[in-house]
Chain A
């Protein structure tokens, strides 16, 4: 069996990529999705706030997914549901498994749109017992919104990213009591509107520069110890406080899902956790593209979809014309920068104008992101406030020579 373009994952990125590939004349396009429907994580995000950029309207997650799914239906793009891609080679031989068995599909191009997973408790090694009641926020989102179960009655939430904030409100609305939201950083990475609408409106305290330092309870969670942290994020002795609760929600970061990239021998970027790509969103293996949260974690589903449109277009071009060898330059994350995607840009793309997605490494006030080639500044992006939680998107246009360095120029 074969297909011109195979898209792994049918979330907002995968759907957008498949549509755009089909519209760009890719030939046959196939979506492989392990769940029973399109939509990815959006199916469990029943709050609104999706689609402002793309559809000019506030939609819920399922509504946003539905709009795309309709277009996929109209374009008659085939989807294999309840089907998991279990491995993949660098030759774009994709092994899938479902109730019909396991078989290989040979693809002309592959687009990875596998989304991300949540960082688990173990990864941050919170000491203490290991009782029932410690869940990642997304798991609780699924239990409540899709399965109809309550995971607990009194919760503490660690992490004030958007998922944590939204779950604070959701739990409250379902009758649970949220005792506190703790954030290890001195600022929240969540959107301001979420802090107001999800915490302040319900009098849920947000403790900045605080973390959970111990979990209590042998069978079910009975409480947690929280502590203040110093500027190195280390807990400060003497600031410990016990909070009684039966549930601890963790919302401590998202990690791109990239097992498949690993099997195919794709070179990864330790900073983003995703594959290293060029301006065509093509990985180190020609003909394999990546987009959405499996490439790097986005702030909004809209951005994941927008990026995926590019991946779809480029995958179509690849199957039509084959890869193009072109001189590429490196995009280096310099002083103050957390990550830059893409990590390489071609001379041609730079001449026409290439999009870069930038995250800073820490918050800055009144600072600029400066893009340089050698000592020559080719672009400056000024901002009153830069935080690692917000991705900065900018177009870089230059016909010069040499690698690019991205830096923060701060006045503080």
Chain B
């Protein structure tokens, strides 16, 4: 049975960045996830915002890690070749009362150490964002906020960790942890592995492993609408409403790929697999967005989705050694701003682990190999690439102009794509306006060829999500 110094449960953004940080040290690490690939949990379905850090109460782990993570994000994304944009954000106030509230947010932000915050008046808001409802009073402007591609960040971190010697077990749903002779048995349906230490980054399930009986997660669903790229440039900053007792409200933000994101709603739920969208939720987003951006044409919606916040009963991230289980390190209840905080959480976890496990930096660490994105190349570079490998000249996804070569790369890289959704998240084939209607058969063919499995075995997102039910009658 495989033995490791450390097993990391959960290849979300937190677990993957933690594995990456560990891969810089001389320890044996296994990253496990219940899905066939990294980034299939909350890290694929959120607002993708790098928050500046004025939301959390001063003194909380959230506040400190958010500000620290925000400061790390740009350099990290550069190293990992992941799209990031420092757009700045605005919290819009539509009444005098809201204007007072954003003043309080400003002060809280300053206490948290957020730089550059200022209140800007109506004129300036409308100058920067002409589409905003002219009834706006003022806004809290945060120049350091930004946007990132959360699933590309997660995939890149996991891939880079694997490039540097971390092992991975996918399709490995951990059922329980058992302690035996000072070691953990990490037990799943598909086998078992052993480790001296376990780091729990299991997202919305992280309370089940945390060894803190009083700590509970109450999942909260957030639904979204995504608009076609033809709306690129409609809004330039992340636009929030002033938070109320009910939550942060519906925001509008550009994505790093030029789509417009509207959402999220906030609904407590019991079923931790329930990422269904609802008529009510989508209706609320439409209504609220129409108020914020009155000129918005909602016919440009190309898809909707939902993600689950791992909202902790304590109101704060649970980060540290478990009090109930020896050798267990927790990163539990990582709700928003967990994406922003993730780089700082990873550092913190490795620092804590170092207290009990001697960690030595490796002499050699390989940075992530750059991703070949045809759209980023000059004409000359494209021709060179196509000459060397004609597969880059075959366009498979017409809407996002993705070539066969790019899809094959996404499958062959470490922690590569195994599913139709996995291909979509890595290279955007199927993310465009036709939503894969045209390219899906081609993507199945490439997955089948590269993985050496028949097309009828392939899934949308792992498990029983088979895309096809068989071949035609009489054909084998």
Interface residues of A in 89-115 (CB under 8 A from B): 97-103
A86 to B403, CA, bound (A): 12
**Which one, B278, B433, B468, contacts A143 given CB within 8 A?**
B468
* A102:B382 contact, CB within 8 angstroms: yes
- Verify if A201 is at the interface (C-beta below 8 Å from B): no
* B469:A151 contact, CB within 8 angstroms: yes
* B383:A148 contact, CB within 8 angstroms: no
* B279:A131 contact, CB within 8 angstroms: no
A119 to B230, CA, bound (A): 16
* B390:A117 contact, CB within 8 angstroms: no
B192 to chain A, nearest CB (A): 25
A214 to B459, CA, bound (A): 22
* B276:A99 contact, CB within 8 angstroms: no
Q: Is the interface of A mostly helix, strand, loop or mixed?
A: mixed
Interface residues of B in 265-292 (CB under 8 A from A): 273, 275-279, 281-282
- Verify if A121 is at the interface (C-beta below 8 Å from B): yes
A200 to chain B, nearest CB (A): 24
* A102:B465 contact, CB within 8 angstroms: no
- Size class of the contact patch on chain A: 35 or more
Q: Which of the 9-residue segments A122-130, A282-290, A298-306, A384-392 touches chain B?
A: A122-130
User: Given that A86-B395, A86-B401 are known contacts, is A152 also in contact with B469, CB under 8 Å in the complex?
Assistant: yes
Q: Is the interface of B mostly helix, strand, loop or mixed?
A: mixed
Q: Which of the 9-residue segments B55-63, B167-175, B297-305 touches chain A?
A: B297-305
- Verify if A239 is at the interface (C-beta below 8 Å from B): no
User: Given that A122-B301, A148-B475 are known contacts, is A219 also in contact with B437, CB under 8 Å in the complex?
Assistant: no
**Which one, A103, A117, A125, A146, contacts B434 given CB within 8 A?**
A117
What is the chain A residue whose CB lies nearest that of B387? A101
Interface residues of B in 439-476 (CB under 8 A from A): 440-441, 445, 455-456, 459-473, 475
- Verify if A120 is at the interface (C-beta below 8 Å from B): yes
- Neighbouring B residues of A143 by C-beta, 8 Å: 441, 468
- Neighbouring A residues of B121 by C-beta, 8 Å: none
* A100:B393 contact, CB within 8 angstroms: yes
A218 to B399, CA, bound (A): 27
A127 to B459, CA, bound (A): 22
- Neighbouring B residues of A398 by C-beta, 8 Å: none
- Verify if A220 is at the interface (C-beta below 8 Å from B): yes
- Verify if B226 is at the interface (C-beta below 8 Å from A): yes
B286 to chain A, nearest CB (A): 9
- Verify if A394 is at the interface (C-beta below 8 Å from B): no
- Verify if A71 is at the interface (C-beta below 8 Å from B): no
Contact with A along B398-431 (1 / 0, CB 8 A): 1101000000000000000000100000000000
* A123:B301 contact, CB within 8 angstroms: yes
A34 to B461, CA, bound (A): 29
* A34:B383 contact, CB within 8 angstroms: no
A358 to B463, CA, bound (A): 49
**Which one, A99, A127, A262, contacts B279 given CB within 8 A?**
A127
* B303:A121 contact, CB within 8 angstroms: yes
A148 to chain B, nearest CB (A): 5
In addition to A98-B394, A125-B277, A143-B468, 12 A-B residue pairs with Cβ atoms within 8 Å of each other are A117-B434, A120-B302, A122-B302, A122-B304, A131-B460, A136-B437, A139-B437, A139-B438, A139-B440, A149-B471, A149-B472, A152-B469
The 4 closest A-B pairs by CB, nearest first: A122-B303, A120-B435, A99-B390, A132-B460
Would you list 19 pairs from A and B whose C-beta atoms are within 8 A, ordered by A residue?
A84-B395, A97-B382, A98-B393, A98-B394, A99-B386, A101-B386, A120-B434, A122-B435, A123-B299, A127-B282, A135-B437, A136-B437, A143-B441, A143-B468, A149-B468, A149-B472, A219-B460, A219-B462, A219-B464
